[in-house]
Structure 1
Amino acid sequence: MTTLPPTSPFPAAVAARLLDHGHAELRDAALRIAGAGLAACEPGAATELLVTLDGDALVVDGRALELAPDARVVVLGAGKATLPIAAALQRLLGERLAGGVVVVRAGEAEPLDPIEVLEADHPLPSERSLAAGRRLLEVAGTLRSQDVALCCFTGGSSALASVPPLGVSFAEKRELHRLLLRSGAPIEQVNAVRKHVSLLKGGRIAAATPARIVNLTVSDVAGNPLDAITDPTVPDLSSVGEAIAALEHHGLWDAVPASVREHLLEGDAASPPLDAERIQTVMLADGHTACRAMAVEAQALGLAPQIVSTTLTGESREAGHLLAGLAAHSLAHGTPWQAGAALVGCGGETTVTLAPQAALSTGGPNQEAALAAALVLAGKPAAALFLDTDGIDGGTPLAGGLVDGTTAARAAERGVSLPAALRDHRATVALEAVDDALLTGPTATNVNDLFVFVLGTEE
């Protein structure tokens, strides 16, 4: 049985189970390729390469910010990939760091004195998220124009730090989040709504302070739109009208609390103007970073790498079905790719549309994409891997799924209906039943979801 390198993000026991199938060589390659992509997106290492303290100057990506003797440098942030960025800044700046606040998922906090590390909840905000958001605003409000705020807002910050605007209760804002999560709306539309029903998002943390702002972030959105990635600290490019249109398009306008509708129609919902000159943003890693690393690893394994897409979106099961269909066609006809190819890519991300009262945590977009691919690849020499890079797919303990041409047969032998699992959005149970569940635990990064297909030889 093939074992993974010591640097693999997949626990050894999980990897061993995942390789205990008929296409072990193909599955091993898929795991190695995905692991290389994930490792390349470690944001702490990227921070240490791009940030230095040179005398009285803070140098970030080649741009120097002169620091007056009394200037304070603080760290502000929230998100799934925030902690390693903050930890790197703590190491780099030492005594020059005056403090700050970062918010991470429950169970992931580590001491980073003098930075306060707060825990909150995801994917739905909680009272801890409310307290954390208020603390971020409080610290931002203490800064002066000569100070520097090093901001590390990454994917997941909308739930981890959440403060409703005047006239909207926290319970009503939480209900808005719940409805948006189930809607199947693309992330850009979800963010357009959340930015205009918030005291944090849409550049409002930047508006709360005159300090110079340096954003250090990673992207989990196709195209790297900054106002959807680090939106509390950059100018908002969306409008209130777009937020309303998104709710109407997805049938949510009448479902959201009345206070939300009133705020969008009559309240102070427009995002504040910001002076872009005092804001610098550095992208530490994104889906392209992962795809380049995956292609290099595939080539090292003797495969022919093909970067298929870096903007994969749409309904998850349809995306999995489409990619698997292209792989199956290639196996049968030698085009557009031949046997021995490794198809890699990322998305921005795919979505799962749930009924209004459907339960969360029974599946996720990458798990559904994997199950859909398994049905198409049945009986074929191929492996397909779909991975949420933060290690938590759809709020479940799984990161995704790794399937192959034997998955459908193994499911039938064990009395598992893959079509029913897709229909009922219960992908987690199905993947665990056939030993095709991907588990990483928290990865400390959060770029675009990744996919890998490895094509064998058609028998």
Structure 2
Amino acid sequence: MHEFDARTPTAAHEVALDCLRAGVESVLPDRVVRESVSLDGDTLTVAETTYDLSDYDRILVVGGGKAGDGVADALEEILGDRIDDGVVVTPTPGTGDRIERLPGDHPVPSKRGVESTRRLVDLVSDLDERTLVLVAVTGGASAVLPAPEPSVPLSDLRETTDLLLESGAEIDDLNAVRKHLSTLKGGGLARIAAPATVVGLVLSDVVGNDLGVIASGPTAPDETTYDDALDVLDRFDLDVPRSVRTRLARGSAGEIRETPKPGDSVFDRVTNHVLADTFTALDAAREVARGRGYDPLILSSRVRGEAREAAKTHVAIAEEVHATGNPLDAPAVVLSGGECTVTVSGDGLGGPNLEFCLAAAPELPAGTVLASIDTDGKDGGTDVAGALVDAETVTPRDAYRSLATNNALPALRDADALVETGPTGTNVNDLRVLVVESGE
């Protein structure tokens, strides 16, 4: 397990960090897969579903994302030489015995990601009903598995992705656009692999676990349309490259076929299993808090919206615990997950979790500690997971000045408040821990 490097001057800081660590460890892909997938003779069990391997001549493993390598490692351990071939694309590919590991980049797609994805597409093309395809569907796969339509150059896809990320668009808006610019997303992988049996092993980084949104839904029906994608561009007033708008307009006009929708026959032999999500991490963190003598509460696994606004809500909850003992008595730990966004107006360095912590810190009651990280270990475009703050971390003036230019990283680094993990090899969104100590 990666080290969680952070300054912990008080017991409350230590509890917060231990909750974060337990949350991330609970959703590491090798642990998740080993707990959910087993082999007994010819019977492969995934969650509650069984597959008779004697029905298949070939078993393939494909997919990708930040947890793709870990899923592949676990499947090789479970299935061994029953795996005939495989390609998994990740930001930091390892090595495997049966499954090829190839590089891709996140959050903006790259040329090497396109080349790696082409190898994956070749592997799942022209399959028959006696092929079983296990697909690692994990957060980050939208970017690391780019398969842009021929009419959309990679440079245009990159520019569009950048614009969407900076606009504050939520993940479902972002993916509505990306799914209509790619051959693999929005059920595209299922369409290519049909009529093979396809089993999605899903680690969700999406609020609500919408299978059409996680990794842009390569194995799930797409309920969005070309019109929806155009609406996103208009709603956020994005000046995207001509090739992008032209393709979406042609699709809207019925000149290009839609992504496969619910009820499409390409999904007749497709099953998706969500093996872990944000609540998995929150549940593990809750057990740690309870074991340390705190009254724990999972506020929600679905917190979203502007990071600095969500921060105010968490401050308000800490204030309420102190003032009235609601929603629970101190000492308490309040946990939340989800995915906040930042509407970028400055040119500073930061991410949603850093901005969340910086906005909250000056307003936190005394005796309260707040931590927030991205479970993949990289908040936004930074190389840090997030931060661990209290009322003494930063002055209101310094916080507001840094927030004005979206420059949370330097401010929190100067305050020695960063949480650094390195890439964790998993991703189930953001994890937040609010530790409220008893008053004097």
> Which range, TM-score by smaller chain?
over 0.9
| 2:408 maps to 1:427 | yes
| 2:129 maps to 1:145 | yes
Q: CA contact under 8 A between 2:26 and 2:32: conserved in structure 1?
A: no
Q: CA contact under 8 A between 2:65 and 2:144: conserved in structure 1?
A: yes
Q: Deviations over 1:356-387 (max 9, x none)?
A: xx658x1100000011110211x611000001
Letter in 1 for 2:134: L
Letter in 1 for 2:131: D
| 2:245 maps to 1:261 | yes
Q: CA contact under 8 A between 1:314 and 1:350: conserved in structure 2?
A: yes
| 2:297 maps to 1:313 | no
Q: CA contact under 8 A between 1:38 and 1:389: conserved in structure 2?
A: yes
Q: How does 1:202-241 map to 2 (within 5 A)?
A: 202-210=186-194, 211-230=196-215, 231-241=217-227
Structure 1 window deviating more from structure 2 (222-231 vs 330-339): it is: 330-339
Q: 1:69 Cα shift?
A: 7.4
Q: What SS does structure 2 have at the residue aligned with 1:246?
A: helix
Which of residues 38, 52, 57 is equivalent to 2:24?
Answer: 38
Cα distance in structure 1, aligned partners of 2:318 and 2:46: 43
Which of residues 388, 393, 397 is equivalent to 2:383?
Answer: 397
Cα distance in structure 2, aligned partners of 1:70 and 1:289: 32
Q: Which residue of 1 aligns with 2:276?
A: 285
Which of residues 190, 193, 198 is equivalent to 2:177?
Answer: 193
Which of residues 236, 258, 261 is equivalent to 1:270?
Answer: 258
Which of residues 229, 235, 256 is equivalent to 1:243?
Answer: 229
Letter in 2 for 1:75: V
Q: Which residue of 1 aligns with 2:432?
A: 451
Cα distance in structure 2, aligned partners of 1:160 and 1:206: 18
Q: CA contact under 8 A between 1:197 and 1:269: conserved in structure 2?
A: no
Q: What SS does structure 2 have at the residue aligned with 1:393?
A: coil
Structure 1 window deviating more from structure 2 (388-397 vs 160-169): it is: 160-169
Q: CA contact under 8 A between 1:124 and 1:159: conserved in structure 2?
A: yes
Q: How does 1:411-426 map to 2 (within 5 A)?
A: 417-426=398-407
Q: How does 1:41-120 map to 2 (within 5 A)?
A: 41-68=27-54, 71-105=57-91, 108-120=92-104
Q: 1:70 Cα shift?
A: 6.3
Q: Where does structure 1 lack aligned partners over 5 or more consecutive residues?
A: 1-6
Q: CA contact under 8 A between 1:67 and 1:146: conserved in structure 2?
A: no
- Which structure 1 residue ranges, 4+ long, deviate > 6 Å from structure 2? none
Letter in 1 for 2:416: D
Which of residues 152, 156, 161 is equivalent to 1:177?
Answer: 161
Q: How does 1:275-424 map to 2 (within 5 A)?
A: 275-347=266-338, 349-355=339-345, 359=347, 362-377=349-364, 380-409=366-395, 417-424=398-405
Q: Deviations over 1:49-75 (max 9, x none)?
A: 322233333332232222347611111
Q: How has the CA–CA distance of structure 1 residues 274 and 244 changed in structure 2, closer, same or farther, with 3 Å as cutoff?
A: farther
Cα distance in structure 2, aligned partners of 1:183 and 1:274: 36
Q: CA contact under 8 A between 1:328 and 1:376: conserved in structure 2?
A: no
Letter in 2 for 1:428: L
Cα distance in structure 1, aligned partners of 2:167 and 2:56: 49
Q: CA contact under 8 A between 1:122 and 1:395: conserved in structure 2?
A: no
Letter in 2 for 1:418: A
Cα distance in structure 2, aligned partners of 1:309 and 1:163: 34
**Count of aligned residue pairs for this structure pair:** 431
Cα distance in structure 1, aligned partners of 2:379 and 2:49: 36
Q: Deviations over 1:414-442 (max 9, x none)?
A: xxx11111111111111110010010111
Q: CA contact under 8 A between 1:388 and 1:450: conserved in structure 2?
A: yes
Q: CA contact under 8 A between 2:124 and 2:193: conserved in structure 1?
A: yes
Which of residues 117, 125, 146 is equivalent to 2:109?
Answer: 125
Cα distance in structure 2, aligned partners of 1:449 and 1:269: 36
Q: Where does structure 2 lack aligned partners over 5 or more consecutive residues?
A: none
Cα distance in structure 1, aligned partners of 2:39 and 2:299: 40
Q: 1:77 Cα shift?
A: 0.8
Q: 1:338 Cα shift?
A: 2.7
Q: Deviations over 1:74-127 (max 9, x none)?
A: 11111011111110001111111011100111xx22111221101121111110
Q: CA contact under 8 A between 1:196 and 1:269: conserved in structure 2?
A: no
Q: 1:276 Cα shift?
A: 2.7
Give the share of equivalent positions with the same residue, in percent: 39
Q: Which residue of 2 aligns with 1:4?
A: none
Cα distance in structure 1, aligned partners of 2:386 and 2:107: 16
Q: How has the CA–CA distance of structure 1 residues 309 and 59 changed in structure 2, closer, same or farther, with 3 Å as cutoff?
A: closer
Letter in 2 for 1:406: E
